[in-house]
Amino acid sequence: MTTEIIKIFDTTLRDGEQSPGASMNTEEKIRIASQLERLRVDIIEAGFAAASPGDFDAISQIAQKVARSTVCSLARAVDKDIKAAGEAIKHAKFKRIHTFIATSSIHMEHKLRMTPDEVIKKAINAVTYAKEFADDVEFSCEDAGRSDIGFLKEITDAVIEAGASTINLPDTVGFRMPSEIGEMIRIMSEYTKGRAIISVHNHNDLGLGVANSLESILNGARQVECTINGLGERAGNAALEEIVMAMKTRKDIFVGLDTNINTKEIYLTSRLIANITGIEPQPNKAIVGKNAFAHESGIHQDGMLKNKETYEIIRPEDIGIDISDTLILGKHSGRAAFKDKLTKLGFEANNEEINKAFERFKELADKKKNIYDDDIRALVTSEMTHVEKVYELIAMQLMDSTGGVPSAAVTIRHKEKEKTDASIGGGTIDAVFKTIDRVTGFKGTLIDYKVTSVSQGKDALANVTVKVTFDDSEPAMIGHGLSLDTMLASAKAYIGALNSYLSMQGRLKNSSSKGI
């Protein structure tokens, strides 16, 4: 029997980034795109090129880096968006433009204020223009879940005629039940058979994103749009890991169907996204939650000891969790043991990255007794995200706010020179950030600040994420800082955001993207 491949279209970098608080900087997006490629997703939606120069820059960097997966940019059905998308992906080996317009009555009447005929005309123009930049054009009927099926057929005929080869039918507001989505996909798949691939994109507002995607596959969808950890607008999107593992575990239901995903990369990819965005999957989240393989009750533990299949339907090793690895690293561990650990955790780091991460591991091991796998993942992730260190934190001294005025003294290295200054602030963090502004001469405005602990224990590493605009110019930049000391992590995050800003400015100056 021949196996049909369901294409996995990952939109973590676009719809996923629309999750509140999930913004990522260019270097982090590049790192994620490389990991998505290792996971073997078929299509990476790298962003929305027309949204900002930062988005454009990130897509264009990813297009130059990714070789195996198709790189895609989203574009509204307007010329300026399509042009930006086309230019951003122009260096990709495999490229796609994904253009969309709403097709439900409620969206056409109240949002677009357009008649159905006008919508069809715009869709045809968009696809025709997109074909000037890429052979592979996907068209989405936004809010297809609430659109009239007759109109879906009509607009689909028109865009296929104009050159679209994938028709995506999103349940944009996550409203539909699996049986309803299944019926829509069955009708549309039969209608477009041999002319286009039907794709789905299911939001999770009623917790049905994954169920609706699986039902769609059973009814003829041959592409699924999804995100790692289910990130996405509002309640999120269908989680990639859940769709893929459901298909793999229930081969008896998904007969003759498979994906290209290397499931052993799932856990590492999930941890990478959680580390970078600072958004942890809930502990009981299917497949990648911290408790997904933890058996707490005595009866379950007893069953597991007798035969794992009593309570385990997925083996942790299938998603890349190495349960046989009992090696605990500490301050006496050498480089070889460290490197071995990285391999077991699924990292493919080069020698320079290993050396840098090993140095940081040694510093950490001096101060922290138990080093968990999560600590190592966080250390290596921060070393493998390459932002040029234009400014580097050398030292920091704080005056406690108890009973006094909070103040900070900071030493920063820039172009081999060190400069120290001090400042007071409303609180300690305020004092630290103000001092960094004084030393560097850039005025930052803090938009968001988040701190999470990487592993357990009082001595856990702090992972600080900041979102800052510099000199009042958009877009806001994301910075991450990792340290046992939360204040130090905060200062590193703030300087990291500034370095990202400078590196993006440099790239935009040197590229033709300026002005988009």
**Which residues lie near Zn ion (CB under 5 A)?**
15
Whichever of 144 and 466 has its CB closer to ligand KIV, that residue is 144
CA 60, chain centre distance (Å): 16
Smallest separation (angstroms) from ligand KIV to the CB of 167: 11
CB 390 within 8 A of CB 414: yes
Could you say which residues in the range 246-265 bind ligand KIV, by CB under 6 A?
none
CB 208 within 8 A of CB 187: no
For residue 139, give both structure tokens.
């068209």
Whichever of 48 and 358 has its CB closer to ligand KIV, that residue is 48
User: At 474, is the secondary structure helix, strand, or coil?
Assistant: strand
Is 294 exposed, middle or buried (CB count within 10 Å of its CB: 0-12, 13-18, 19+)?
exposed
Name the one range near ligand KIV by CB under 6 A: 165-173, 293-301, 366-374, 479-487. 165-173
Side-chain half-sphere of 359: how many Cα atoms within 13 Å? 7
For residue 5, give both structure tokens.
């491949």
Whichever of 143 and 280 has its CB closer to Zn ion, that residue is 143
User: Which does residue 100 touch among Zn ion, ligand KIV, none (CB within 5 to 8 A, set by kind)?
Assistant: ligand KIV
199 binds ligand KIV (CB under 6 A): no
201 binds ligand KIV (CB under 6 A): yes
10 binds ligand KIV (CB under 6 A): no
223 binds ligand KIV (CB under 6 A): no
Near ligand KIV by CB under 6 A: residue from 57, 87, 136, 142: 142
170 binds ligand KIV (CB under 6 A): yes
Whichever of 202 and 407 has its CB closer to ligand KIV, that residue is 202
**By CB under 6 A, how many residues form the interface with ligand KIV?**
9
* CA separation for the pair 151, 134 (Å, rounded): 26
* CA separation for the pair 428, 436 (Å, rounded): 12
Interface pattern 96-125 for ligand KIV (x via CB under 6 A): ----x-------------------------
Near ligand KIV by CB under 6 A: residue from 34, 99, 103, 140: 140
CB 213 within 8 A of CB 202: yes
Query: Among all chains, which residue has been given the structure tokens 């690895």?
Result: 325
Whichever of 169 and 429 has its CB closer to Zn ion, that residue is 169
Smallest separation (angstroms) from Zn ion to the CB of 169: 12
Print the SS3 string covering 102-127. ECCHHHHHHHHCCCHHHHHHHHHHHH
Q: Among 388, 394, 385, 416, which Cα is nearest to 480's? A: 385
Query: Among all chains, which residue has been given the structure tokens 């958009």?
Result: 474
Name the one range near ligand KIV by CB under 6 A: 166-174, 269-277, 387-395, 494-502. 166-174
Smallest separation (angstroms) from ligand KIV to the CB of 201: 5
CB 143 within 8 A of CB 158: no
Side-chain half-sphere of 391: how many Cα atoms within 13 Å? 27
* CA separation for the pair 343, 356 (Å, rounded): 16
Q: Which residue sits closest to Zn ion, CB atoms considered?
A: 15
Name the one range near ligand KIV by CB under 6 A: 52-60, 168-176, 402-410, 443-451. 168-176
User: At 358, is the secondary structure helix, strand, or coil?
Assistant: helix
Whichever of 25 and 140 has its CB closer to ligand KIV, that residue is 140
15 binds ligand KIV (CB under 6 A): yes
Contact positions toward ligand KIV, by CB under 6 A?
15, 100, 140, 142, 168, 170, 172, 201, 203
